[in-house]
Chains A and B, each alone.
Chain A
């Protein structure tokens, strides 16, 4: 069934593609599946009924050579039932199949040189891949060692025993305190916390430590940031215009809050794809904000192929959603069935259909598309606001409709007849070097207009061929040429006036009927290669008309603020009344409601497969549904507009084999540095197999059983013996388990960019723990990364609140392997490059932090230098200093070149905050 479905899909694809595929590919994609499905039962290499094998290139080549199967039309005659032989005997092929065969043969019946494996053959193997099988809760393996602390350890210890490796010792108390504090808060423990924890000798001290850490809002900031990596969070659109997502912080708040309140993970998934549909009415604000997950991806604004622009966004949403929740690279199926995973192009376009029926832009069309914002008020309040905005717009248009025709009439009446005089005067200004004001006065012209016209007419090297005759004018013929130019504009001027008057009349009529007028007409439809139109346009309009930043106002254009001076007293009175009404409308307008980046339901859309991913190449229509490999063939039809609600519910359904596995693997990875599956965003066939498949399933089942609680899972993981293993590596473990796939030690980790900066501020007592809101909006045009950095250094908030510019990450973040905000990032890189060290050696922000740290140590009165050093080590490294360390540092201070103790201490401060002791968590 599935096979024939794929075959159908391919063959429709082929039809629509108009055979644009490479020749071999046509055979592989459409002909071979068709022949195999319809003829292969008899005409295969083994049975070779009638001496024919129609399923391999070899067989077809032979048959063509021997009997002219393809060239002489034998095959086509047979499948068309036109001759004696009618094939397939069970029933004639559908017309589309016949057509596909026909066009392949007509195009030359290209066959591959060498035989390749039939794709359909390994589809079954693909379906059998471990991650697509239902989650089964395994029984606990028996272990001999009694040091296990919870069920996790059964799985870990069993494999260690199998490998004849003894589990490592438990890490020391302070190591665990530092490990857990960084892990859950991304911050070092304070000296007070160290003291308290050391003094706590109760058997459940460690459990209570975990509880305390999980209860703090710092937890949501640290773990929310992990999720933001997956959600490719950023505060600008990236791609072309990099517009600011100025409300993006609301989604960040939502994520932090979700972690802190331990929102069940299935709920978390549902809200992020369909929060606008899935939450209680009373909670609709949260629901809308949650869909920022979909809305905050990279988005083009000025791509001119608007269909492509839209489907790029849809593709990005499919990519992020499938990687984040399913651990699958579904977007590989945009152009063809997935090369490795059992995901078809049909699956892809069935999902695309969901996002295509979702509102993704406010307006897509036009040169620049506009972002969609959802209001964070009730529809009623928002409706009031919108209505008033419409009234304001109508009033503004009404003013334009009253004013503009009359101002135009004035210019036509008073200025245009004098155009030749203005031009001659401008010539005088230019060639006789006279002041415009004097010439204007002498000739009864408007000085400002003359000045502007003279400037405009000056030969400045611009490419304006229509002014060539003017440039060539001589004193003898300048009057005549000026007359010619004045005559030239008559026709376009009249035409424009007709257009303008027509609009004004219709606008006023609309207002009278209580309708919103159409937007003001623009000076369009005029060809700029027509000299008359170009010249008229240049001298008549304000620069804003043309939306060109370097352009100047036309010499005879009258600025908005001056217009009232050029109309009759009656009109002026009328305009003033309207302006008063406008002011009143504005004054009493409801405040602009808060808005957020979100998605919403749009019109239901019938999505077709795009053949080879090209939207100009429509295949068959597909219904909204989820990938067959996970959700089965018989899916109930979606009943909501887009199907996002159903998508969210399906993600969190216990029968879906992937989301729980992917989620617990992520949690495991963020605790242990690596996942049980080491490709956290790829659970497909090219992903890695889990190191402990049973443990993964055990965790996933438990996660679902216990209501998808993330805090519960943290505690379960962190209270295992495995989490408490020492990070020291014994040579035996190193030999037997170099990649730590047996979890034979805790994996030491380098702290992240955020932890680095937050910790510096924290040990200095400077960290501003204010939560929420945003700092600097990320502006698309402000493109100097250096300036961005300086600004960032002025804030002492936690690093996760610093702006993330999708097109220009601040230097420090980029250097220290911050997440790539253009795609779901399940795991950050860990690179070691010299510019990281240069940053520590020379960057002003760090120098400042190090000197503050040193100063605080020295300011601690009543202390010896030795005590100061001990205090410094305790604060920075989270443990007491050894005698050897303090001695070494005292010697360092004493031997400082030149003996300057201020410099020596600042340097010591830097050493404490840049050493590996500070940068690694054991």
Chain B
């Protein structure tokens, strides 16, 4: 957050003419006075908004969407390939190849294979565009989470959601444009939804963290959202008085737009307070909808709430919503704990896809599913280690092919070998579906034009519908 707030937009434009260009001028010119107002895209968008279902910890691709018959065949045999650098450095902890405890079946008209870990999502497989050749650079969670969210494994850079908001603005000024629901607060923490050097308006708004009980969040999703101990009439009375005081203050101090901005921020807050609770209140949904997301089942209620909330938010114009399902890091007890995790997200995810489709929103909403990396084909005790060398993510909806699989890992699922998609490429592709050219979405900071994809990124054109 190192961008100065313009003293005055007018001042800025004047200064810009004299070569003073350190402020995000392009955005100011196109977005008038409001940096989060909707903006035009570089080309026609296929998706208008993003829901990112982030599986924190790294779900196993070879147990879910990337079947490996040779792994079954060579179960418990020594590795027929060279081991890369692994997160657990003591080789003694590693065993041999380990087959998947789950079986794969082809589903839908597309016949794409999905394992028995995700029976509900399997029903929606004709909506999915499965990328089986993801590659990342981070071997530990901290770096890997940061890269998935910001493109870099160690620096402070704006998050994907912030770039999206910066590029597109948002359609509802009474709600934050970039919301992250129950994010993982460790492993790079707030940097995963930070706007870094982009102006603070593009910062992600967290709804609790993965450790905040959902019950607490259902009461108050965003901190300080609810009025304490006073009625709307009292609050209105107070804000009217505040505006009077501050307007007199501003009249005595000409040519300082910040004063008016601060006055306006209270009005916006008041509207947010009025509209927010309704947007965040999933209880207003019908019993059938709640059941579709698994809210009526203790196992699926938490993530179901996240998914349903995400739909309510994007429906109201929020540009980028992330939901996080935590604890996918199965170094041990893969079978028990992966099943537990999958059981808690499978129905909510399928519910979200079905709900978006039935509301006609799936066509222009991009749903992205995946973790920061996959897992190894060999065992680490009775689990699997981190695998950034090859893993799976899937997308669904706006702008991507349906019932389609792209890329491949080797026979054992260790390395991506065909049509590799690096996280930079994924980011470039996501921006592309939104009508943004990742090489043109830049921000000048400290004398350099920064991009989400740095100097990398190739749009995976083959997966675009």
Contacts and interface: CB of A to CB of B under 8 A. Distances in A.
Contacts of B210: 783
B345 to A, nearest CB: 18
B157 to A, nearest CB: 10
A727 B262 CA distance: 18
Given A240-B140, A242-B189, A304-B86, A842 B4 contact: no
Which residue among B86, B94, B95, B225 has the maximum number of chain A CB atoms within 10 Å of its CB? B95
A303 B196 contact: no
A915 B249 contact: yes
Contact of B268 (A783, A834, A896): A834
B92 A780 contact: no
Which residue among A524, A534, A841, A914 has the maximum number of chain B CB atoms within 10 Å of its CB? A841
Given A830-B5, A916-B250, A784 B336 contact: no
B455 to A, nearest CB: 10
**What bracket does the count of chain B residues touching chain A fall in?**
35 or more
A898 interface: yes
Interface stretch (B236-244, B287-295, B359-367): B236-244
A820 interface: yes
A109 to B, nearest CB: 24
A304 B249 contact: no
A340 B264 CA distance: 40
A240 B92 contact: no
B76 interface: yes
B228 interface: yes
Interface in B176-209: 176, 184-191, 196, 199-201, 203, 205-206, 208-209
Interface stretch (A199-207, A676-684, A858-866): A676-684
A78 interface: no
B447 A916 contact: no
Contacts of A260: none
Interface in A901-922: 903, 907, 910-911, 914-917, 919-920, 922
Given A550-B333, A687-B447, A780-B186, A915 B211 contact: no
Interface string A360-379: 00000011000000000000
Contact of B141 (A240, A548, A833, A840): A240
B238 A907 contact: yes
A907 B227 CA distance: 13
Given A682-B447, A750-B258, A911-B245, A783 B200 contact: no
A303 B255 CA distance: 51
A731 interface: yes
A884 to B, nearest CB: 8
B254 interface: yes
A74 B83 CA distance: 46
A829 B241 contact: no
Nearest to B101: A463
B246 interface: yes
A355 B191 CA distance: 26
A687 B448 CA distance: 10
B39 interface: no
Contacts of B190: 785, 807-809, 814
B20 A688 contact: yes
Given A303-B139, A462-B382, A914 B225 contact: no
B284 interface: no
A130 to B, nearest CB: 15
A530 B92 CA distance: 12
A184 to B, nearest CB: 22
Given A529-B96, A832-B265, A842-B225, A911 B85 contact: no
A829 B5 contact: yes
B15 A784 contact: no
B7 A837 contact: no
Given A340-B447, A529-B96, A835-B205, A828 B200 contact: no
Contacts of A840: 266
A462 B228 CA distance: 49
Contacts of B266: 837, 840-841
Contacts of B155: 822-823
B43 interface: no
Given A784-B209, A829-B199, A907-B238, A302 B259 contact: no
Nearest to B93: A528
Contacts of A339: 448
Interface stretch (A9-17, A98-106, A440-448, A732-740): A732-740
Interface string B273-284: 100000000000
Contacts of B263: 916
Contacts of B201: 831, 833
Contacts of B261: 832
A752 interface: no
A838 B200 contact: no
Interface in A516-553: 524-530, 534, 546, 548, 550-551
A172 interface: no
Contacts of A915: 242, 245-246, 249
B208 A524 contact: no
A784 B186 CA distance: 9
B209 A914 contact: no
A527 B186 contact: no
Interface string A738-754: 11110000011010000
Nearest to B332: A548
B198 to A, nearest CB: 10
B419 interface: no
Contacts of B229: 847
A731 B262 CA distance: 22
A911 B238 contact: yes
Nearest to B331: A548
Which residue among A528, A546, A917 has the maximum number of chain B CB atoms within 10 Å of its CB? A528
B336 A527 contact: no
Contacts of B270: 837, 841
B14 A907 contact: no
A632 interface: no
Contact of A550 (B90, B235, B250, B332): B332
A239 B333 contact: no
B226 A842 contact: yes
B169 interface: no
Nearest to B20: A739
Contact of A784 (B142, B211, B255, B331): B211
B96 A463 contact: no
B336 A729 contact: no
A686 interface: yes
A577 to B, nearest CB: 35
Which residue among B12, B196, B223 has the maximum number of chain A CB atoms within 10 Å of its CB? B223
B115 to A, nearest CB: 14
Nearest to A817: B1
A59 to B, nearest CB: 29
B447 A911 contact: no
B10 A738 contact: yes
B80 interface: no
B230 interface: yes
Contact of A916 (B249, B379, B448): B249
A890 to B, nearest CB: 12
Given A739-B7, A831-B1, A822 B200 contact: no
Given A239-B188, A739-B20, A911-B245, 5 more contacts: A240-B187, A305-B85, A738-B12, A805-B189, A836-B265
20 contacts: A240-B142, A241-B142, A367-B90, A461-B335, A463-B101, A529-B379, A729-B256, A734-B254, A739-B14, A747-B7, A748-B256, A789-B223, A807-B187, A829-B1, A829-B200, A844-B228, A897-B234, A898-B234, A911-B242, A920-B249
Interface of B: 1-5, 7-8, 10-12, 14-15, 20, 22, 76, 85-90, 92-96, 98, 101, 139-143, 146, 154-156, 176, 184-191, 196, 199-201, 203, 205-206, 208-212, 222-231, 233-235, 237-238, 241-242, 244-246, 249-250, 253-256, 258-259, 261-266, 268-270, 272-273, 331-336, 339, 379-382, 446-448
Which 5 pairs between the two chains have the least Cβ-Cβ distance? A686-B447, A240-B142, A807-B189, A831-B200, A529-B95
